[in-house]
């Protein structure tokens, strides 16, 4: 009995050791919540890591300011801090030294690489990000025009911070959505080329002060292995989105030949199938596009309710889609010679044995690869009006 009592006491004493614990506990008050991070090239050997931190205290005051006046000198609810280092981990460490609170990566969904750094190569830093525990594999990657840091400093009026704006933009599918894992898969794949969304700064059109600039996705960056080659414009990006099956929504506007007006349709479904073919040592590709759409605007004389006209409309729209995809393919094939569509992987998957032969020559084969596009366009509904009211 006595020994039991002593043993219990001993255990209890050990418990006090536990009370000093809570080793990994971090209060929210001591966190610097990162909303976005940017990496830039500093000089040949070092990079600059910038982070956008949510500042909880000022946002309370700011609320009042916004309520009273929509003036420009509202305090930013975020803080941008940067540090240099030889690589991501090194810069992260130095950054922590500058900030009183513990840097918290768990909520960060946005990584932006500056143009200069992207030209040098991003693989090293990507590996660094992936190995660290906190940053997410699913965080989206972007390439920015100029310094990526500048994007973080933006203070969009409608969103809490620029990270949130970017996040929402991604969900609007105006540009590609590529996570770290997706990107690494592409880099490790057969095509060895990646397309990432390209971010620019939108300057306000009217005479408002330059403080209310916003980030926006405008085009696609083309990376071969992990180095930036250049960018595709917004028009070509639409085609890239389609080929990568990421065009969840979008509109297409065509001008049917004999008519004078324009015809716009919004897709509700857009599926593309990439079918590689190897016949007699000859590689070719077939793209089967299936699109379903709703007519949104029609200023032509074609009648959507008329089956004859409808067939014509559908044909015209299909042509428009083909053209859009062709534009993207041409830019990828001819201009940048980078297989950002992952065509090589489709060959590898369908013809694993034959592929070994062509693998080495892919770089020379790709620009001249014959790609056949077959588009089927179907108009589901005429929209809210059947016929344009005549005046």
Site residues for another protein per CB under 8 A: 18, 21-29, 31, 33, 35, 54, 56-57, 59-60, 104, 106-107, 109, 133-134, 136-138, 160, 164, 181, 184-185, 188-189, 345-346, 348-353
* Closest CB 244 distance from another protein, rounded Å: 12
CA–CA dist 289, 272 (Å, integer): 4
* Closest CB 350 distance from another protein, rounded Å: 7
CA–CA dist 376, 357 (Å, integer): 34
Closer by beta carbon to another protein, 184 or else 232? 184
**Kind of pairing, strands 282-298 and 370-381?**
parallel
Q: Measuring CA to CA, how many Å separate 368 from each of 172, 332, 351, 362?
A: 34, 11, 19, 10
Q: Which two tokens stand for residue 361?
A: 């020559």
* Closest CB 9 distance from another protein, rounded Å: 16
Q: Which two tokens stand for residue 336?
A: 């940048």
* Closest CB 138 distance from another protein, rounded Å: 5
Closer by beta carbon to another protein, 154 or else 317? 154
Closer by beta carbon to another protein, 29 or else 210? 29
Query: Read out DSSP for 172-236?
Result: TTSS---BHHHHHHHHHSSS-EEEEEEEEEEPPSSS--GGG-EEEEEEEEEEETTEEEEEE-HHH
* Closest CB 25 distance from another protein, rounded Å: 5
Closer by beta carbon to another protein, 56 or else 204? 56
Closer by beta carbon to another protein, 134 or else 253? 134
Closer by beta carbon to another protein, 27 or else 206? 27
Closer by beta carbon to another protein, 164 or else 316? 164
Phi and psi, residue 225, nearest 5°: 45, -110
Q: Measuring CA to CA, how many Å separate 188 from each of 226, 323, 342, 349, 360?
A: 10, 30, 11, 14, 15
* Closest CB 35 distance from another protein, rounded Å: 8
Assign 72 to helix, strand or coil. coil
Helix (H) or strand (E) holding 247: none
Q: Which two tokens stand for residue 43?
A: 């000089």
* Closest CB 273 distance from another protein, rounded Å: 11
- What are 324's strand-pairing partners? none
* Closest CB 206 distance from another protein, rounded Å: 30
Residue length, the chain?
A: 391
Q: Measuring CA to CA, how many Å separate 244 from each of 239, 342, 352?
A: 9, 9, 22
Rg, Å, the chain Cα set? 27
Closer by beta carbon to another protein, 5 or else 23? 23
């Amino acid at each position: 009995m006595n020994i039991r009592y002593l043993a219990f006491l001993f255990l209890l004493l050990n418990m006090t050791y536990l009370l000093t614990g809570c080793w990994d506990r971090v209060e929210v008050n001591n966190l610097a919540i990162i909303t976005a991070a940017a990496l830039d090239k500093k000089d040949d050997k070092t990079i600059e890591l910038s982070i956008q931190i949510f500042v909880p205290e000022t946002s309370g005051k700011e609320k009042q300011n916004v309520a009273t006046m929509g003036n420009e000198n509202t305090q930013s609810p975020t803080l941008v801090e940067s540090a240099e280092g030889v690589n991501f981990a090194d810069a992260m460490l130095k950054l922590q030294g500058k900030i009183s609170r513990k840097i918290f990566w768990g909520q960060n969904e946005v990584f932006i690489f500056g143009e200069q750094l992207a030209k040098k190569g991003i693989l090293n830093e990507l590996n660094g990000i992936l190995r660290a525990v906190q940053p997410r594999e699913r965080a989206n990657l972007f390439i920015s025009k100029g310094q990526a840091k500048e994007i973080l400093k933006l203070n969009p009026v409608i969103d809490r911070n620029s990270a949130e704006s970017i996040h929402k933009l991604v969900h609007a599918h105006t540009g590609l959505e590529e996570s770290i894992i997706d990107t690494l898969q592409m880099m490790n794949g057969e095509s060895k080329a990646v397309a990432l969304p390209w971010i620019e700064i939108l300057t306000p059109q009217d005479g408002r002060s330059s403080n209310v600039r916003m980030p926006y996705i405008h085009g696609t960056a083309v990376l071969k292995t992990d180095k930036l080659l250049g960018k595709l414009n917004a028009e070509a990006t639409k085609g890239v989105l389609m080929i990568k099956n990421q065009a969840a929504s979008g509109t297409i506007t065509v001008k049917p030949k004999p008519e004078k007006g324009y015809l716009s349709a919004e897709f509700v479904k857009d599926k593309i199938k990439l079918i590689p073919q190897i016949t007699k040592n000859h590689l070719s590709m077939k793209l089967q596009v299936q699109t379903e759409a709703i007519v949104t605007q029609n200023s032509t004389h074609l009648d959507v309710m008329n089956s004859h006209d409808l067939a014509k409309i559908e044909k015209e729209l299909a042509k428009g889609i083909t053209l859009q995809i062709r534009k993207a393919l041409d830019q990828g094939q001819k201009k940048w010679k980078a297989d950002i569509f992952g065509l090589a992987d489709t060959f590898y998957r369908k013809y694993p044995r034959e592929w070994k032969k062509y693998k080495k020559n892919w770089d020379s084969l790709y620009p001249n690869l014959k790609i056949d596009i077959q588009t089927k366009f179907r108009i589901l509904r005429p929209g809210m009006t059947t016929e344009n009211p005549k005046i």
